[in-house]
Structure 1
Amino acid sequence: MIKILMIDDDIEVLDINKKFFEEKNCHVEVAELAIKGLQLAKTFNPDCILLDVMMPDLDGFSLCKEIRKITDAPVLFLSGKVSEDDKIEGFEAGGDDYIEKPYSLRELYARIQVSIRRHTKTNQYKKENMIIDINPFYIDIENHKLLYGEEEIALSNKEYDLILFLSQNIGKEITFEEIGLKLWGSYIESDRRNVMVNMSRLRKKIESQTGIDNLIETVWAKGYKLVKLK
């Protein structure tokens, strides 16, 4: 049984969605306030979290950052704020998907299932492959960390997912589309900026902490490639 946590200040939306998902044999908990949603994220241990952006006590982006300190369960933003900047802010806050209101409940349920399957596969991979060696860097998959020797380079969830994906394809040219599909599950051409923003942040963190600026090469007009350093 899928456990879904919904956080939205619109009680009518919560009631409608809760009824729909319970008919799909899901276990559903709801919260009209961010503080209650945060408490449920701790105690309910959801498989997926549906999160509104415009909340009265704490906006969804800020709440997602707090949730990410508790759980790595998929977070799907549901919002009428659908500018490119809004979506980027949602992904940078730790969201896994960003869905425009109004939405189809059938499509939303399908996206929930996809996000949970992706999350499950990622966790299974972590169990089977605990360390990736890209000397002098190491990816500690069990603890979700990028290390330079024994020194951790602090990354956001998407930055970590990005370096992990590249390290799994070391020496291979990875396109913007492949990265977008891997990190967010979908891709349109305007998503290229999302990929570039996350890559820029990742590179800056690596360079500022280690002085190494050539770990990830740009493949002109195509994407990126992680190289083995000599």
Structure 2
Amino acid sequence: MHREDRMKGQTILVVDDDADIRQLVSIYIRNEGYEVVAVPDALQALQALEHATVDLVILDVMMPGMDGIQACMKIREAYQMPIIFLSAKSEDMDKIHGLMSGADDYVTKPFNPLELTARVKSQLRRYHMYQQPEEPSSVLEIGHLRVDEDTRQVQIHGRDVRLTPKEFDILALLARNKGQVFSVEKIYEMVWKEPFYKSDNTVMVHITNIREKTEENPKKPIYIKTVWGVGYKI
């Protein structure tokens, strides 16, 4: 397979509050055939991940507001793609802290852009090597909805759907028990694994979010049905 074929569709998210660094990294990454999404802070990075399929994240550590360490841990709650830190901190403990937060590599500033692109390629090769599809041992299919409990991936009409960990757990619980009605209290206790408080609307909010992401018309859902006065079912 040609290099252009391998890279087609691969997107790199560049997160750095320094506009010059964002531009420099973006130029070198694009020259290697990748698509680039560049944003100046962690909050915009998290938003970008919800709206685009990202194959690798280049993440600055020192940013105002939410720093790179916090952003990395937040990303790791829902995503498995490689994360490469950029940082002016070069001490061993800084690198260890960064890697322990969930990053796959750590590049110190000032950096050689060619070395960074080489590390991007290396991380992507390694990631896709271990992501080679295997025969799934637990795939739930309801109509056009596909829930893979092993990889925690969801697809609707073949399109990947990004769910938060709790949203996935709720969907998987209902899909695993197709036709069974679960009360709000039961869903909360099984997913959050803690006592349910009567005034808590957390489950309802998560169900609404799942419908927004999986249904063509969330107001008339065909997957997660409301059983009035009882709970929810698929």
SS in 1 for 2:84: strand
Paired residues of 2:28 and 2:117 also in contact (CA < 8 A)? no
1:26-74 CA distance string (max 9 Å, x none): 1100110110011112212211100000010111011001111221110
Structure 1 unaligned blocks of 5 or more: 132-140, 145-230
2:55 maps to 47
1:202 maps to none
| Paired residues for 1:131-146 under 5 Å | 142-143=150-151
1:95 maps to 103
1:115 maps to 123
Percent identity of equivalent pairs: 33
Q: How far is 1:23 from its partner? A: 2.0
Please point out which of 134, 137, 141 is paired with 1:127: 134
**Matched AA of 2:24:** I
Q: Residue 69 in 1 paired to residue 77 in 2?
A: yes
Paired residues of 1:41 and 1:70 also in contact (CA < 8 A)? no
More helix by share: 1
| Paired residues for 1:1-230 under 5 Å | 1=8, 2-124=10-132, 127=134, 142-143=150-151
The normalised TM-score by structure 2 is 0.53
Please list every run of at least 4 consecutive aligned residues from structure 1 whose deviation after the TM superposition is greater than 3 angstroms. Answer: 128-131
Q: How far is 1:127 from its partner? A: 2.3
Q: How far is 1:18 from its partner? A: 1.1
Larger Rg: 2
- The number of residues matched between the two structures is 134
Cα distance in 2 between the residues matched to 1:84 and 1:130: 41
Q: How far is 1:81 from its partner? A: 0.8
Cα distance in 1 between the residues matched to 2:136 and 2:71: 31
**Matched AA of 1:28:** V
Cα distance in 1 between the residues matched to 2:54 and 2:120: 12
